[in-house]
Structure formats: structure tokens, C-alpha cells
Amino acid sequence: MNTTTAPSTRTQVKRSANRGSHDPAVLHAIIDAAWVCHTAFTDEHGVHCIPMACWRLGDYLYIHGSNGSRMVRRLQEQDCCVTITHVDGLVLARSAFNHSMNYRSAVIYGRFETVDEAGKRPALEAFMEHLAPGRQGEVRPGNDKEYAATTVLRIALAEAACKTRSGPPEDDEEDLHLPAWAGVLPLREARGAPVADAGCGIAAPAYVQRWQD
Ligand SMILES: Cc1cc2nc3c(=O)[nH]c(=O)nc-3n(C[C@H](O)[C@H](O)[C@H](O)COP(=O)(O)OP(=O)(O)OC[C@H]3O[C@@H](n4cnc5c(N)ncnc54)[C@H](O)[C@@H]3O)c2cc1C
């Protein structure tokens, strides 16, 4: 399965098309930098858009949840739309109209499929690797009961669009003389100092020591 390269009817970016991309490398980078995706689906009560942890393996985005979850059940029986957004800055222009944001975002369409029993363990181990490289070998692995209670779903990255904006404000020529500060207020995710659990006497492993910015 190849990731998307050509847009479909619904992944053709029309508004500010110059910011659109269907490059798999761009899509992969946006997913790999994400902790969370938002998954939209419907049920008899209407449309829902639910945040959840995500990770990537090859040409698939993965999520997991309890077998009993409404969302997990719905996602197996209908198409959905998954989004990921990173906000990189507030773009302050000289006119109110031209304010913007710098961002990297992805929209993925398709249907989740259930990962079979053989694939579940490596998929969840890859999730742990995504969160904290090396940790899988330190923790108690999931037991049969825990794996049995968990559904792992994956969606092919076959129909997806990315949109990115970077750089300064794009003011109209006639506004450039206005006495308003213009520029970018960068935003980034910050990693705080690790907080050891009460009673944890284990020396911090490398991935904990490296955590803080
Ligand atoms: C952090 C952030 C803030 C934004 N704030 C605003 C705002 O305040 N007002 C506003 O109008 N727009 C905003 N946008 C842009 C917005 O996401 C849409 O791209 C834009 O509104 C056009 O939507 P559309 O459905 O009309 O686009 P179309 O070009 O018609 O969309 C066609 C297809 O392109 C793809 N696509 C569209 N947008 C995105 C995207 N952002 N990422 C990946 N694929 C996409 C989808 O597959 C979509 O079906 C923001 C984007 C981000 C990431």
C-alpha cells in the first residue's frame, strides 16, 4: 500500500491550494510529531469528533481503545475522517483580516480496520516506542486478558491531504505603512521536568532524562 500522492475529489485542496501537499513524507512527519488525532464519525445522535492517541507504522495510522467503546465499534462499520493539527505560531498582520496561524495539519479519509491478534502486540509495542523509546523492555508486558480487552484499529494513509503554513504575515501593499506591530508569535509544545511517582526509586532511564526541553 502506498501513501497518497495524487489528490482524490475530497483531498483536493482548493482554498489556499499553495499550502496543500499530498507528499507522503509531509504526511508521515505530521503524524509522527503528533500525540493525538481527532476522529470524526456519526451515530444515531449525530456527528462526533473524538480526540485519541495515535501513532504510525508504515503506511497506516493506528489507534486503540476498549472493545466496549462506542467509538471503536462505530469506526469499524463506517467511513470516517481523521485530523491532526500542530499550531506553530500566531501570525499578526497589519490588518485584522490578514491575521493567520502557522501550522501543519493533515486530514485522512477512509475506514479503520481491526488489527488481528497476531498484529496487535507489535502494534501496541510500536505505540510504546512512539511514547518512550526503550520502555517496552522495562514494563510488565500486557497479559492475554488485557490484550483481549483492547481493540487496535488502523487506517490506510491512502487518501489524505496535508496543509502547512509558515513564514511572516502576508499584508496588503497598502497596509505596509500602518503603525501596527507585525510578525509571528511562535508557539511550540514544551516538555516539563519529569515527576517521579511516589515510591519510585528507579533511576531515570535515558528517555526520561532526555525528556525536558
Ligand atoms: C491551526 C489552523 C487554523 C485555521 N484557522 C482557520 C480559520 O480561522 N478560518 C479558516 O477559514 N480557515 C482556517 N484554517 C484553514 C482550514 O483548515 C481550511 O483549510 C480552510 O478553512 C478551507 O477549508 P475548506 O473546506 O473550504 O477547503 P477546501 O480547500 O475546499 O478543502 C478541500 C480538501 O482539502 C483538504 N484540507 C482542507 N483544509 C485542510 C487542512 N487544514 N489540512 C489538511 N487538509 C485540508 C481536505 O481534504 C478538504 O476536504 C486553519 C487551519 C489550521 C491548521
Confidence band for 185, pLDDT divided at 50, 70 and 90: very high
Grid coordinates belonging to 46:
449525530
* pLDDT at position 2: 43
Nearest protein CA to atom 32 of ligand 1, as residue: 13
Lowest mean pLDDT among 4-13, 76-85, 112-121, 135-144: 4-13
Q: How far is CA 196 from CA 35, 61, 96, 104, 200, in A?
A: 21, 31, 46, 33, 6
Task: Please check whether residue 8 lies inside any domain of the structure.
Answer: no
Mean residue pLDDT of the chain comes to 95
Task: Please check whether residue 197 lies inside any domain of the structure.
Answer: yes
- Whether the CB-CB separation of 64 and 153 falls below 8 Å is answered with yes
Residue 18 identity:
N
- Domain tally for the chain? 1
Verify whether ligand 1 is closer than 6 Å to residue 11 (CB atom): yes
Task: Please check whether residue 83 lies inside any domain of the structure.
Answer: yes
| Ligand 1 centre distance from Cα of residue 41 (Å) | 18
Verify whether ligand 1 is closer than 6 Å to residue 105 (CB atom): yes
Ligand 1 atom nearest residue 17's Cα: 29
pLDDT digits (tens, 9 = 90+) for 150-182: 999 999 999 999 999 999 999 999 999 999 999
Bridge partner residues of 185 (DSSP): 90
Task: Please check whether residue 12 lies inside any domain of the structure.
Answer: no
Q: What is the pTM of this model?
A: 0.95
pLDDT digits (tens, 9 = 90+) for 99-129: 999 999 999 999 999 999 999 999 999 999 9
Verify whether ligand 1 is closer than 6 Å to residue 136 (CB atom): no
- Beta strand pairing call for 160-165 and 100-110: antiparallel
Task: Please check whether residue 10 lies inside any domain of the structure.
Answer: no
Q: Where are the alpha helices (DSSP H) in the chain?
A: 24-32, 70-75, 117-131, 144-148, 206-209
Nearest protein CA to atom 18 of ligand 1, as residue: 15
Q: Is the pLDDT of residue 190 over 50?
A: yes
| Ligand 1 centre distance from Cα of residue 106 (Å) | 9
The average pLDDT across 126-155 equals 94
Task: Please check whether residue 6 lies inside any domain of the structure.
Answer: no
Dist CA 183 CA 9 (whole Å) = 35
Task: Please check whether residue 9 lies inside any domain of the structure.
Answer: no
Dist CA 212 CA 161 (whole Å) = 32
* pLDDT at position 202: 94
Dist CA 33 CA 39 (whole Å) = 17
- Beta strand pairing call for 150-156 and 60-66: antiparallel
Verify whether ligand 1 is closer than 6 Å to residue 22 (CB atom): no
Task: Please check whether residue 2 lies inside any domain of the structure.
Answer: no
91: domain range? 17-209
Confidence band for 1, pLDDT divided at 50, 70 and 90: very low
* CATH code for the domain of 89: 2.30.110.10
- The gap from C-alpha 7 to its chain's centroid, in whole angstroms, comes to 20
Ligand 1 atom nearest residue 105's Cα: 42
Q: What are phi and psi of 65, to 5 degrees?
A: -170, 175
Q: Classify residue 17 by its DSSP letter.
A: G
Q: What are phi and psi of 127, to 5 degrees?
A: -60, -45
Verify whether ligand 1 is closer than 6 Å to residue 99 (CB atom): no
| Ligand 1 centre distance from Cα of residue 96 (Å) | 19
